Amino acid sequence: MNLTTIINVSLNPVGMACSIFVLTSILVMLCINKKTANRMTVRLIAAIALGDLMIHVGEYYSATHGGVERASPLCIRVNAFRLFSRNFYCFTNIAICVHLYRSLVQLKKSTWRYEIFSWIFMLTLTIIFTMIYYFMGAFTGLSHPAGCNPGAATQIMDAIFSSIQAFVNLSTIIACITTTVIGHRSLSKWINNYANSHNFDGKNKSQFIKERRKMAERSFLYPLSTILTLPFETIFLILIACGKFVPQLTIPMAVFSSISGLLTGIAFAIDPAVHSALREAYCNIRGEKNNCQISPNNASESSSTGPLTV
């Protein structure tokens, strides 16, 4: 068992556990009080966690079943799942970037029509790119020098396949970085607009703004994790497209890909909006609804001023 395989076998279960933790927490909050999870961002975070989970399952299975023959029916199914998971992960992160940009920069509220369109568009792109890989023969893994891993049957097709993968990864990284930079620049405008639309009932406005800024800043941690999970894979794919296989890169690829669920779990655990939602859910369990101070952040995203997108 080589080092890359050891890393995948050791770290992917941690990512799986963290992804399941995020998904379970959101599901529990939804069951207790639908309003706590009735925001588009929460559903997108759940989708990111689901993407993390699928990636970890695919990579763990691949690492623990290294004897699967290339181009066999099982190998094709495993590679199809791995490529679909990667596309789903990338396009979900792009979707949350678009949502954060609309909410924090353009100050637009989310509607069910917009959300449904976003989900359909995201899933359509995921399926389209996965089918492109299928017709290129990337599920067979014939061009890969070792084991059952995605790779087209010919060198030219494999170079094109790797280039497309690198393009999707690079687009995701650029979208996440750009959204984070522009979003931080627009925080003051968004917070002032948000603060002016609420009554404070004696609460210190500066403290309110400080808390909302912290919540908004933490919301960027979800897509920003892609600057750790995707760069080494992108470099590896670009080199493959250029005809150079660098096995040393598979080690950092395995490390950072295996912690995507952990990064999402950490962002979820330190998210003030999650803490607020959990407190509200706890109050509902104890039957203390009247004693719970529901923050404006926990309001539905139908707010005319654009609620906190975390």
* Cα distances (angstroms) measured from residue 105 to each of 130, 185, 193, 206: 32, 9, 11, 21
Q: Provide the whole-model pTM.
A: 0.88
- Would residue 78 count as lying in a domain? yes
Place of tokens 């995203």: 301
CB 150 within 8 A of CB 68: no
Distance (Å, whole) CA 56 – CA 304: 39
List the CATH number of the domain containing 140: 1.20.1070.10
Domain boundaries, position 155 = 3-298
Q: How confident is the prediction along the chain (310 residues), in pLDDT tens digits per residue?
A: 789 999 999 999 999 999 999 999 999 888 887 776 667 788 889 999 999 999 999 999 999 998 888 889 999 999 999 999 999 999 999 999 999 888 888 888 888 899 899 999 999 999 999 999 999 999 988 776 667 899 888 889 999 999 999 999 999 999 999 999 998 888 877 777 777 776 655 556 777 777 778 888 888 899 999 999 999 999 999 999 999 999 999 999 999 999 999 999 999 999 888 888 888 877 888 776 655 654 444 433 433 333 334 4
Burial of 117 (0-12, 13-18, 19+ CB in 10 A): exposed
- Would residue 288 count as lying in a domain? yes
- Would residue 54 count as lying in a domain? yes
CB 63 within 8 A of CB 5: yes
Helices and strands of the chain, counted as H and E runs: 13, 0
Distance (Å, whole) CA 162 – CA 168: 10
Distance (Å, whole) CA 249 – CA 260: 17
- Would residue 303 count as lying in a domain? no
- Would residue 304 count as lying in a domain? no
- Length of the chain equals 310
- Would residue 172 count as lying in a domain? yes
Distance (Å, whole) CA 285 – CA 308: 24
- Would residue 250 count as lying in a domain? yes
Q: What share of the chain is helix, strand, coil (3-state, %, to 5)?
A: 75, 0, 25
Dihedral sign of CA atoms 282, 284, 286, 288 in order: positive
Count how many domains the chain has. 1
CB 283 within 8 A of CB 291: yes
* Cα distances (angstroms) measured from residue 162 to each of 147, 226, 287: 17, 18, 55
